[in-house]
Amino acid sequence: MARPARVSPDRILAAAALEFAERGFAGARVDRIARRARVNKAMLYYHFKSKDGLYRTLLRRMFTLAAGRLRAIADASAPHADKVDRVIATMAAFVDEHAFFPAIMLREVADGGAHLDRETLTALAALPAAVGGIVQQGVRARAFRDTPPMFAYFSMLAPVIFYLAGARIRKEIAHLKVVDMRESSTDDFIRHMQHATRRSLARARHARTS
């Protein structure tokens, strides 16, 4: 898959990730992707057939990779609350490696999956499935209060995605100096989300505070 023989497809995917994240599917320009990947545009069509094909390939990869890591947490043996901590930390780490992920995620939600085929949509569905499964484990073991898994999924990951995707606009807003938007560290925010999620899922009084 990452054979040294065919670097073009991988370089194209990397360039596409940046372009799609920055501009969205409609705003992305095939010429720009080709230029960023330092390949000829015809090469891009040779490998991926169309802008749509490239987009879907990229997203399928991305979703599959992320879902795999989440599923690994689900399958591991650990206290339920720790698994939730790991879900949040893992998503943050994933974004750290793939900075384009959150923006693409936001756009895809807003688009209602308009450009996704059945296969890519299935790959995306594996994300809430994995996280929902972890929550369900905890609820069944009576470690968590009874919570719809999808509610927990949204309340723990939406802020992470939103916050990480919003780095640029926060900087713009901070620049206006009309709000106190001083950038605190991403790590602090992740810890905040872990604590908030623990407290939200805890049955009686919340877990340790730090």
Binding footprint of its own copies on the chain (CB under 8 A): 21-27, 102-104, 106-113, 116, 118, 121-122, 124-126, 128-129, 132, 147-151, 154-155, 158-159, 161-163, 165-166, 168-169, 172-173, 176, 178-181, 184, 188-189, 192-193, 195-196, 199-200, 202, 205-206
Q: Does 14 bind DNA (CB under 7 A)?
A: no
Distance CA(72)–CA(133), nearest Å, equals 12
Q: Which of 16, 39, 87, 131 binds DNA (CB under 7 A)?
A: 39
The number of residues making up the chain comes to: 210
**Exposed/middle/buried for 157, CB within 10 Å: 0-12, 13-18, 19+?**
buried
Contact residue for DNA among 14, 22, 36, 43 (CB under 7 A): 43
Of 20 and 94, the one with the shorter C-beta distance to DNA is 20
Considering the complex, what minimum distance in angstroms separates the CB of residue 37 from its own copies? 21
Query: Contact at 8 Å (CB) between 171 and 111?
Result: no
What is the rounded CA–CA span in Å between residue 189 and residue 2? 34
Exposure b/e, 2-27, CB count within 10 A at least 16 = b:
eeeeeebbeebbbbbbbbbbeebbee
Contact between 50 and DNA by CB under 7 A: the answer reads yes
Q: Is residue 2 part of the contact set for DNA (CB under 7 A)?
A: no
